[in-house]
Amino acid sequence: MTATVSKSQLAYRTIKERISDGSYSPGYRLVLGRIAEELGVSAVPVREAIRLLEAEGLVQFERNVGAQVAMLDPTEYQVTMQTLALVEGFATAVSAPHMTPDDVARARAINDAMALTLEHFDPATFTRLNLDFHAVLFESCPNPHVLDLVHRGWARMRALRESTFSFVPGRARESVQEHAELLDLIESGADALELELAARNHRLRTLDAFLAHYGAPDGVPTSSTTGEGER
């Protein structure tokens, strides 16, 4: 009656959820038998779920050794964030023409709520609202592949950054400001390319801020590779 979800699906969703919400933090070792027992299923569906999560990059897997939640790694962070910027920028541009005035209003309301969280230090809420904000932007996206890429990127970032990946101290206020500008652009019916770059650079600036704050990885150039920016 409850849509009779398969046990593989159950294992997949449960593990993914636990990675996202931090119950399984980066490096946590995922033992098939233990998880299977815990969920009341056999090891086979758990293994299947873990292989899927491996394909998404959420867990690392080694044959005959086991799986663990993907580790926190600045380089990982950079390329993932870069890819997310690419995909989100595109998704924004494609979605914008399909957004209703009501959609824009909802996005503004969420952004206002984000501004309120700045009064207190609350990275988790900030990140959650940030996801909601972008979710509103993308919900009219007619390209399901791109949407899927966005969601995978988010799942990765959540796993890597423990639920606060959008929040960089000293950058949050600008982020809210840029959101507002982005909505203005959308309302003004701006050019698709202009929108895409605005949305992309919004993420890339967060990336730069993060790298500046936590230190850039070794050989990777910190300039964000693509955009209008100053070289």
Contact residues: DNA, CB under 7 A: 4, 6-8, 30-33, 36, 40-45, 47, 62-67
Distances in Å between the alpha carbon of 203 and those of 1, 83, 123?
42, 10, 16
- Residue 1 interacts, among a copy of itself, DNA, none and using kind-specific CB cut-offs from 5 to 8 Å, with none
DSSP-derived 3-state class of residue 75: helix
Query: Do residues 85 and 228 touch, judged by C-beta distance below 8 A?
Result: no
What's the burial of 148, exposed, middle or buried (CB within 10 Å: 0-12/13-18/19+)? exposed
Give the footprint of a copy of itself on this chain (CB under 8 A).
6, 8, 44, 47-48, 51-52, 55-57, 63, 79-80, 82-83, 86-87, 90, 93-94, 142-146, 149, 192-193, 196-197, 220, 225-228
Min dist. Cβ of residue 230 to DNA (A): 47
Nearest to 203 by CA among 130, 129, 107: 130
Residue (8 or 140) nearer to DNA, CB: 8
Nearer to a copy of itself, 55 or 109 (CB): 55
**Separation between Cα atoms, residue 99 and residue 92, nearest integer Å:** 10
**For a copy of itself, the closer CB: 70 or 176:** 70
196 binds, among DNA, a copy of itself, none (CB under 5 to 8 A by kind): a copy of itself
What secondary structure, in 3-state letters, does 130-148 show? HHHHHHHHHCCCCCHHHHH
Q: Which does 33 bind (CB under 5 to 8 A by kind): DNA, a copy of itself, none?
A: DNA
